[in-house]
Structure 1
Amino acid sequence: MISRIVSVIVFSVLTLLVVAQDIGTDRITMGKITDSRLNELSGMVKSFKNPDSFWVHNDSGDSARIFLIDKKAAVQAEFWLEGVSLVDAEDIAWFEEQGKSYVVLADIGDNRGVRKDIQLYIFEEPLYQAGQQRVLIAKEQIKKIVLRYEDKPRDAEALFVDPKDLTAYLVSKRDFQVGVYPIDLKVARAQGHAELKRACKLPMTFITAADIARDGQHIVIKNLGQVFYWKRDADASIIQLLQTKPDTLAYQPEPQGEAICFGEQPTTFYTVSERPLGLDAYLYRYHIAASAQQN
């Protein structure tokens, strides 16, 4: 654990060399993680169907399930994916298609870089009903996409889906300059598989999470110590955007903060942490300074 933290600090210092400026934020504590089932939270995304709620999940070692938590970080229900066996789920994303909202659970973690294949699981977003505690998502409702890197296995913990064209973007974790890998979800869902080809590199490392705002114009990517922020011009592609220098959003590091997501508006984002060594973890809301939205 100590060596990992030291590595992150070193990487964060190196990353500062490419950052344009630091944008102010205001942080509010929304609630404390108290449910023992939420011991290693690694991914989070704002729910579309369930107001003031978030989809979260643990990483390696947990069962094939996700949780719906409210804005105070209390569990509303757990949702099980029938017929799915997870290895290391590390992020969760959302997209809308033909009036329906979908969840993407990314089983993409690979600490040792040995997995031949990794997987995405896509299913229509559940609508929570009061009183539900444990809900089964039928296997017939889940689409599995098998992914394989074109060169070699690698670790990844970050994925988001561009709402403009339904391209998913996977960001690797441990490369000294992390890679960005596009996935055409329309094609991948039809074929059931896709090859991961790197489209660009980013001069940062140890990336643990990413998200894109619902308007498709704002992106955040984080490691354990920093949150990088891009604002997109109307005609810019995601790859073009990510090759420009990001700003950083003021962020207070958490015990092991591996999850981030935008709120319903791009003026806010949320973070939550694992609970290493029994340390407390909280759901935080950050409000981004108005100047960032005007740039």
Structure 2
Amino acid sequence: MTRLFPILGVAAALLVAGCASPHVSYTSIEVPPTGPRKIEPAATMRSALINEGSGIAKSTRYEGVYWTHNDSGDRARIFPVTLQGETVAMGDGLGIPVKMAENKDWEDIASDHKGNLLIGDFGNNANRRKDLLVYVVPEPDPSHAAQAIAKRAIPFHFPEQKEFPPAARNYDVEAIFVANDTWYVLTKHRADADTCLYRFNSYREDISNPLELVCSFGARGMVTGADSLADGSRVAVLVYDNVWLFEPPSGDVNRLTEGKIYWRPYRLGQCEGICFIDADTLLVTNEEGSMYVIPVTDLIEVQ
């Protein structure tokens, strides 16, 4: 059920939607009373250096390669892995360092479907940060490159956030994806179980880019990752204990919740990474390095 809040009743809109705007839609999605499914890992990342995996992205340049990284506390580096959990040659053996970048709190990684990786340095647990940004990193050759280089750093902010921290800590971010050449992020909430979808309308390096609030929906938990097919026809959203799949009409992500929606709860540990293996298969990873393969057909259609 999608509810469009009018200008009147602003307070009610803010309370339910968890976003500081009465002008966007909030979707409450009814799901069946289904217990979480526990499945076995398809593989485990074998490198002991990947000890707090926080994102996963499929390479668009190198067959069979997936890129991952650690959470805050690690150096600025990425790891190329296979679906079998094996690491591809990693430069000096310690991962591929990303020059011109700093890991303050890397939370997600995505492909722009054009040979670049987007690394989100936007972890914001306390909602105090004013330096959220995304690094643009051309994919290095995982078999030969000694380093990768962040060619661009794109700062951004949420115009609705007026206090640092706000009373409702709903401005953490752990999910970024690209559809139809447009970047999107989803917020991770601590005051409610919703999420807000924001869109990049500019990609300047010299200013903090204001994101545009698109919509909000009841995610039933904290959003920790997301991915999209290049044409936006399918968008996957990961919560700690469930997975969502959206099929926006005509691939228009700005209408994310208006098409078919699929969902299922899972018990897979602290999952923070998700990407498409192909249009019909998802890869989910947790902080401990376990890798789970989930066919889209395993999800339940709820809308």
Q: Indicate the TM-score class for this superposition, using the shorter chain for normalisation.
A: 0.7 to 0.9
2:292 corresponding residue in structure 1: 284
1:17 deviates by 5.7
State the secondary structure of the residue aligned to 2:84.
Answer: coil
Identity %: 24
1:260 aligns to 2:274 (yes or no): yes
Aligned counterpart for 1:216 among listed residues 232, 252, 255: 232
1:181 deviates by 0.9
Matched residue type, 1:111 = N
State the secondary structure of the residue aligned to 2:266.
Answer: coil
Identify the structure with bigger relative contact order (alpha carbons < 8 Å, sequence gap 6+).
Answer: 1
1:143 aligns to 2:152 (yes or no): yes
Q: Say what the alpha-carbon RMSD is for the aligned residues.
A: 2.9
Which deviates further from its counterpart, 48-57 or 77-86? Answer: 77-86
1:26 deviates by 11
1:5 corresponding residue in structure 2: none
1:127 deviates by 2.3
Query: If the length of structure 1 is used for normalisation, what is the TM-score?
Result: 0.78
1:199 deviates by 1.9
Aligned counterpart for 2:110 among listed residues 85, 93, 96: 93
8 A Cα contact 2:233 2:252, kept in partner? no
In 2, the alpha carbon distance for the partners of 1:147 and 1:84 equals 16
In 1, the alpha carbon distance for the partners of 2:295 and 2:155 equals 37
Q: Would the alpha carbon gap of residues 48 and 251 (structure 1) be closer, same or farther in structure 2, given more than 3 Å must change?
A: farther
Matched residue type, 2:238 = K
1:284 deviates by 1.6
Aligned counterpart for 1:270 among listed residues 268, 283, 286: 283
1:108 aligns to 2:125 (yes or no): no
Matched residue type, 2:203 = A
8 A Cα contact 2:178 2:228, kept in partner? yes
Q: Which runs of 5+ in 2 are unaligned?
A: 1-26, 165-170
8 A Cα contact 1:211 1:260, kept in partner? yes
1:191 deviates by 5.3
8 A Cα contact 1:21 1:247, kept in partner? no
Q: Would the alpha carbon gap of residues 195 and 66 (structure 1) be closer, same or farther in structure 2, given more than 3 Å must change?
A: same
2:7 corresponding residue in structure 1: none
Query: If the length of structure 2 is used for normalisation, what is the TM-score?
Result: 0.76
Q: Which runs of 5+ in 1 are unaligned?
A: 1-14, 276-280
1:228 deviates by 0.8
Larger helix proportion of the pair: 1
